[in-house]
């Protein structure tokens, strides 16, 4: 079973998930620490608690990946015949056993860091199970892309909330209510990529696109609005005009999204250049880390 789960993880939990999980965790802590430095006013640096949160987030993302593969099994039997659960390289029993272990280890880790914050992590894991049940039973949630987003996206808010409260509890971030607004930064960043990867002039059969619901121009506009919201929230919270010119650095990656939008709308290409949206996420998060380490 361990070998089968290891092969499943190698196949279905790609390097980009690892990179995203690491950067997301570090950036949540770094941005909050820039906005509300822990007393006494010291430089923010990753600690062993930060490393523990990175490990827990990666486990939770793997847990959610496992749920997705089970939830999408019927669809995958038609459209993704090479996936491990479809080919029998791993069984549903294997995956559910892995979920139980992941849940136990991640909650235990959250308790070790800060016991009361573990409730938010437990809520994240429970939310994943609830979403699984809802999507299996509701055709509307499965097939209506905007309805699906409304139901599924809050799980990231809950997990980000755990990261923030855990960082406050372990002293990396000051207990200032203003850090709650960092949720806007990460909502805008993630959702702009979510819309970008599902915006196209024509899609493949059975593909659920935001551009089908909002139109190509409307969906493209949302990509730009979300990226702008993320950057504007960071600037408003950090107030770089009070710090140093370097603090403006996270605003620069917005140019990448603008280029992506102009390129898409002025060309005949079918799909929005989601790779550029992913590049925005990467450079935006790295810029936030650079500012936090420098400030």
pLDDT digits (tens, 9 = 90+) for 217-249: 999 999 999 999 999 999 999 998 877 788 999
Q: Kindly give the interhelix angle for 216-238 and 182-197, rounded to the nearest 10 degrees.
A: 160
CA distances from 75 to 36, 98, 207, 293 (A): 45, 22, 11, 45
What pLDDT shows up at residue 207? 76
The reply to whether 180 and 98 lie within a common domain is no
Residue 200 forms beta bridges with which residues?
Answer: 271
Of the residues 174, 204, 221, the one at which a domain ends: 174
Instruction: Dihedral sign for Cα 11, 12, 17, 21, please.
Output: negative
> Do 23 and 166 belong to one domain?
yes
| Residues 219, 199 contacting (CB under 8 angstroms) | yes
79-104: average pLDDT = 92
* 189 and 294 housed in the same domain: yes
Q: 141 and 194, same structural domain? A: no
- What pLDDT is attached to residue 40? 63
pLDDT at site 28: 96
Same domain, 150 and 272: no
Question: How far, in whole angstroms, is CA 242 from its chain's centroid?
Answer: 30
Mean pLDDT, residues 21-39 taken together: 90
Confidence label for 77 from pLDDT (cuts 50, 70 and 90):
confident
What confidence score (pLDDT) does residue 285 get? 98
* pLDDT number for residue 130: 94
> CATH code at 61?
1.10.357.140
Q: Left (φ > 0), alpha (ψ -120 to 50) or beta: where does 137 sit?
A: alpha
Over the stretch 151-204, which tens digit does the pLDDT of each residue have? 999 999 999 999 999 999 998 899 999 999 999 999 999 999 999 999 999 877
pLDDT at 16 over 70: yes
Cα distance between residue 21 and residue 55, in whole Å: 9
- Would you say residue 79 has pLDDT above 80? no
Confidence of residue 81 (pLDDT cuts 50, 70, 90): confident
Say yes or no: 106 and 136 in one domain. yes
Mean local confidence (pLDDT), 118-143: 91
Q: In this structure, are residues 257 and 192 in contact, taking their beta carbons and an 8 Å threshold? A: yes
160 lies in the same domain as 196: no
Q: Is the pTM of this model over 0.85?
A: yes
Helix (H, G, I), strand (E, B) or coil at 213: helix
Residues 87, 152 within the same domain: yes
Q: Which residues pair with 80 in a beta bridge?
A: none
Domain identity same for 111 and 64: yes
Do 153 and 248 sit in the same domain of this protein?
no
Please provide the average confidence, as pLDDT, over all residues in the chain.
92
> And the tokens for 94?
């294997």
User: In this structure, are 122 and 226 located in the same domain?
Assistant: no
Which of 153, 174, 195 represents a domain boundary (last residue)? 174
pLDDT given at position 84 = 92
Range of the domain at 42: 1-174
Residue 37 has pLDDT above 90, yes or no: no
Domain boundary among 147, 174, 201: 174
Instruction: Kindly report whether the peptide bond that precedes residue 210 is cis, defined as omega within 30 degrees of 0.
Output: no
200 phi and psi, to 5 degrees?
Answer: -160, 155
Token pair for 30: 């770094």
Q: Are residues 6 and 98 in the same domain?
A: yes
Q: Tally the domains of the chain.
A: 2
């Amino acid at each position: 079973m361990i070998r089968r789960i290891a092969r499943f993880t190698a196949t279905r939990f790609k390097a980009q998930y690892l990179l995203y999980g690491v950067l997301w965790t570090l950036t949540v802590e770094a941005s909050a620490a820039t906005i509300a430095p822990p007393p006494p006013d010291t430089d923010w640096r990753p600690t062993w608690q930060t490393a523990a949160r990175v490990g827990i987030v990666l486990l939770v993302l793997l847990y959610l990946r496992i749920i997705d593969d089970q939830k999408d099994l019927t669809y995958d039997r038609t459209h993704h015949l090479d996936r491990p659960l479809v080919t029998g390289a791993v069984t549903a029993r294997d995956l559910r056993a892995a979920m139980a272990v992941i849940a136990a280890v991640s909650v235990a880790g959250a308790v070790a860091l800060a016991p009361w914050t573990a409730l938010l992590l437990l809520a994240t894991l429970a939310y994943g199970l609830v979403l699984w049940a809802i999507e299996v039973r509701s055709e509307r949630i499965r097939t209506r892309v905007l309805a699906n987003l409304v139901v599924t996206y809050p799980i990231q808010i809950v997990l980000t909330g755990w990261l923030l409260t855990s960082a406050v509890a372990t002293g990396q971030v000051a207990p200032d209510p203003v850090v709650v607004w960092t949720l806007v930064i990460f909502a805008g960043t993630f959702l702009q990529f979510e819309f970008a990867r599902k915006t196209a002039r024509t899609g493949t059969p059975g593909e659920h696109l935001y551009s089908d619901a909002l139109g190509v121009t409307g969906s493209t506009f949302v990509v730009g609005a979300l990226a702008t919201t993320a950057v504007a929230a960071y600037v408003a919270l950090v107030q770089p005009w009070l710090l140093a010119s370097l603090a403006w650095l996270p605003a620069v990656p917005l140019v990448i999204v603008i280029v992506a939008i102009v390129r898409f709308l002025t060309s005949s290409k079918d799909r929005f250049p989601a790779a550029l949206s992913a590049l925005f996420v990467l450079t935006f998060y790295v810029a936030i880390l650079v500012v936090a380490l420098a400030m």
